[in-house]
Amino acid sequence: MKKIGILGGTFSPIHNGHLYIAREAYTQLGLDEIWLMPVGIPPHKQQESSVTRYDRLSMCQLAVEGISYIRVREDEIHSDGANFTYQTLEYISEKYPEDSFYFILGEDSLRMFQSWVHPERIAAKATIVAALRSMDHEHKIRELKQLTQEYSSYYKSDFILLSTRFMDISSTRIRSFLSMPNQSTEKMEYLQNALPEGVRSYITEHHLYQMDGLEGLYDPKKEEKEMTYARIYKQIQKKLQKDLKPSRYQHTLGVAYTAASLAMTYGYPMETAYIAGLLHDCAKYMTPQELLKYCKNHKLPVTGSEKESPQLLHAKVGACKAKEDYGITREEILHAICYHTTGCPGMSLLDKIIFTADYIEPNRCEAPRLPEIRRTAFTNLDQAVSMILFDTIQYLKETGRSMDETTQETYEYYKKEVTL
Ligand SMILES: [Fe+2]
Ligand SMILES: [Fe+2]
């Protein structure tokens, strides 16, 4: 009987963070093997991007070359439909009835475990192993320990924690760096640290992720890959200047520059931050009626507070317009635009950058505590997010304006992260 760890995911691309988690699980739990199981077409995507499943598979194979305890399994990669985790686990445990399985997930996934499809069937087939990203927040460890105990008794199965050190590597950030045409030192350093060498060479050889998600702004035939970010910015700015009032356009530039500066501070690709900053208010010229009509036509859900104050919709509609009118399909940019007014629990680095830049850009002057928040933004971004949410909620309460539920939820989430 073998003890087998299962690490699933899109792996686009696989990086050293994945390999690190695999190694920790292998040693800490005394496993015999780790199976990497790249998914076929991810359930939330309808079609394959320019990087195909075969590219992802090849990169996984290159990444584990020379690591004897990791095997890349192709069970899921060929499937076109959504393969739910419970189906995969039932299938492999039937095929290998002698072995026991350890399903490895991240701490965010653990928190969401109950919303997975058939969590009880997942827990019945494997021990759930949650990789804790950092062990330095005592309250977080306590909370997660309690959660695993609750799950263990509820599902009558084992839920365990794996302590790992925080690694500042994410596939999203890797893709963002790779999409840049320039060869900055930050980019080279980040990629060197994040990717196994074989994967890096494969990406270079096959020109993967280049201009990913910005294809709408760029015609490879016409531009012969000569499109630079400077030209992309100009193209976006030209349209924005036509659509927005001059003061709004000035604000937009302020947000873009501030976002780029925050990106430089926190090691995020500044080009991506600049584009997201430029576009964050691209729907701000629309009237409440136009926003509501747009949502109706595009089947975008409208919450109670958005009905009350349709202006709130400019974020959601903005994300949609960035895609339709500006040809941006890069998920991280669209997400940051969508949540720039309310924030959301568990924001990405880019989400936090845009949210904060919108509040502190140089043309802003009316909010209280601005100098303090501006300083904090460049030293502790989570704390700045918390302060902005706190002040926004105070302001909305004092002026009797309606507040989106997400703002309160986000505040609750970030209040736990830092002390005000
Ligand atoms: Fe806005
Ligand atoms: Fe704004």
Q: What is the CATH number of the domain that holds 16?
A: 3.40.50.620
> How far from chain centre, in Å, is Cα 279?
18
What is the per-residue pLDDT for 318? 97
Q: Which of 139, 171, 203 is the last residue of a domain?
A: 171
Number of H helices, E strands in the chain: 21, 6
Q: What is the per-residue pLDDT for 201?
A: 93
CA of 223 to the centre of ligand 1 (A): 32
Same domain, 296 and 347: yes
Ligand number, closest to the Cα atom of 255: 2
Q: How far is the CA of 364 from the centre of ligand 2 (A)?
A: 10
Backbone angles phi, psi at 13, to 5 degrees: -95, 165
User: Distance, CA 93 to ligand 1 centroid (Å)?
Assistant: 50
Boundary residue ending a domain (171, 205, 238): 171
DSSP state string for 101-145 = EEEEEEHHHHHTGGGSSSHHHHHHHEEEEEEES-S--HHHHHHHH
* Residue 280 CA, ligand 2 centroid: distance in Å: 6
Cα 187 to ligand 2 centre (Å): 28
Residue 286 lies in a domain: yes
Phi/psi region, residue 156 (left: phi>0; alpha: psi -120 to 50; beta: rest), is: left
**Cα 254 to middle of ligand 2, angstroms:** 9
pLDDT at 419: 52
CA of 240 to the centre of ligand 2 (A): 13
Q: Are residues 236 and 329 in the same domain?
A: yes
Q: Are residues 10 and 147 in the same domain?
A: yes
* Residue 48 confidence (pLDDT): 56
Which residue is listed with tokens 């100009």?
Answer: 234
* Same domain as 267, residue 155: no
**Is 197 part of any domain?**
no
* pLDDT for position 47: 54
Distance CA 262, CA 250 (A): 18
CATH number for the domain that contains residue 290: 1.10.3210.10
Ligand nearest to the CA of 253: 2
Whether residues 35 and 157 fall in one domain: yes
**CA 343 – ligand 1 centroid, Å:** 11
| Phi, psi values for residue 132, rounded to 5° | -80, 125
pLDDT for the residue 235: 86
How deeply is 381 buried, as exposed, middle or buried, from its count of CB atoms within 10 A (0-12, 13-18, 19+)? Answer: buried
Do 242 and 348 belong together in one domain?
yes
| Per-residue pLDDT tens digits of the chain, which is 420 residues long | 999 999 998 899 999 999 999 999 999 999 999 999 998 876 555 555 678 888 999 999 999 999 999 999 988 887 776 678 898 999 999 999 999 999 999 887 888 888 888 999 999 999 999 988 765 567 778 888 899 999 999 999 999 999 888 778 889 889 888 887 667 788 888 999 999 999 999 998 888 887 777 766 766 555 544 556 777 888 899 999 999 999 999 999 999 999 999 999 998 888 899 999 999 999 999 999 999 999 999 999 998 888 888 999 999 999 999 999 998 888 899 999 999 999 999 899 999 999 999 999 999 988 889 999 999 999 999 999 999 999 999 998 898 887 888 898 899 888 865 555
Residue 323 Cα to ligand 2 midpoint, Å, equals: 18
Q: Which ligand is nearest to the CA of 363?
A: 2
334 in the same domain as 222? yes
**What is the domain count for the chain?**
2
Domain boundary among 136, 155, 171: 171
The tokens for 371 are 């100098």
Give the structural domain span for 133. 3-171
Residues 9 and 129 in one domain: yes
Q: How far is the CA of 160 from the centre of ligand 2 (A)?
A: 43
Question: Residue 377's pLDDT is what?
Answer: 97
The answer on 242 and 148 residing in a single domain is no
**If you measure from the C-alpha of residue 341 to the centroid of ligand 1, how many angstroms do you get, rounded to a whole number?**
6
Distance separating alpha carbons of residues 234 and 278, to the nearest angstrom: 10
Taking the centre of ligand 2 as the mean of its atom positions, its distance from the CA of residue 377, in whole angstroms, is 17
